[in-house]
Amino acid sequence: MKRLGPLNALYPTPTTLIGTRVEDKPNFITIAHVGIMTLNTVSLGMNKVHYSNAGIKANKTFSVCLPSVDLMVKTDFCGIMTGKKTDKAALFDVFYGELETAPMIRECPVCMECALERVVDFPNYDVFVGEVRQTYAHESVLTEGALDIAKVRPLLFDMSSKQYWGLGGVLGNCWNVGKALKQQKSE
């Protein structure tokens, strides 16, 4: 196999719009360096230069809004512009939920309100760990009451290509398709 050097290849990741209140105003930043830590705990890897970090630290809340592919241009704009100079919240219909200080975007098909659980500190990055407290979704992305990722149409991010990608089709059932091999091994 070919050595590529220490290249992070853990893509694609979902592109998110993170909602915070900074200087008493709602702000949104595009973050795709996200993760899942426990079943109900998510992480955001955010460079310390960003305007949003202070808002998360002050309010101890943030939102994670999932734009669909239709919101690609606005989402990319929120990744290019800084809240220091641009009112990015003006692009969206903003609403608040139970935590009151985590602004969310009504145009996003799914939004999660998170309470800051801890900050994992790195030299140039704050990794914000949030516990999901409430999740809001458009009725149009539910199938029989459950979230349907095909209807969400998430905007995926890949660093190598520096491109946004769509979701493809279903390949198989988890904790299931491997059973055939289990059966075969036990024969």
User: In b/e form, how buried is each residue of 150-167, taking b as 16+ CB within 10 angstroms?
Assistant: eebbbbbbeeeeeebeee
Q: How far is the CB of 17 from its own copies (least distance, A)?
A: 12
Residue 94 interacts with its own copies (CB under 8 A)?
A: no
Using an 8 Å Cβ cutoff, are 15 and 154 in contact?
A: yes
Q: How far is the CB of 56 from its own copies (least distance, A)?
A: 15
Q: Which tokens go with 11?
A: 């893509």
Q: Which is nearer to its own copies, 101 or 164 (CB)?
A: 164
Q: Which stretch binds its own copies (CB under 8 A): 21-29, 51-59, 171-179?
A: 171-179
Select from 33, 56, 63, 92 the one that contacts its own copies (CB under 8 A).
Answer: 33
Residue 11 interacts with its own copies (CB under 8 A)?
A: yes
Residue 164 interacts with its own copies (CB under 8 A)?
A: yes
Binders of its own copies among residues 96 to 135 (CB under 8 A) are: 106, 110-112, 118, 120, 122, 124-125, 127, 129, 131-135
The CA distance from 50 to 70, in Å, is: 25
Q: Which tokens go with 106?
A: 């009504």
Select from 1, 49, 85, 144 the one that contacts its own copies (CB under 8 A).
Answer: 1
The CA distance from 119 to 130, in Å, is: 9
Q: Distance of alpha carbon 80 from its chain centroid, rounded?
A: 17
Count of residues that interact with its own copies, criterion CB under 8 A: 98
The CA distance from 43 to 129, in Å, is: 4
Select from 17, 18, 22, 42 the one that contacts its own copies (CB under 8 A).
Answer: 42
The CA distance from 177 to 107, in Å, is: 36
Binders of its own copies among residues 50 to 89 (CB under 8 A) are: 64, 66, 69, 72-81, 86
Residue 7 interacts with its own copies (CB under 8 A)?
A: yes
The CA distance from 60 to 136, in Å, is: 19
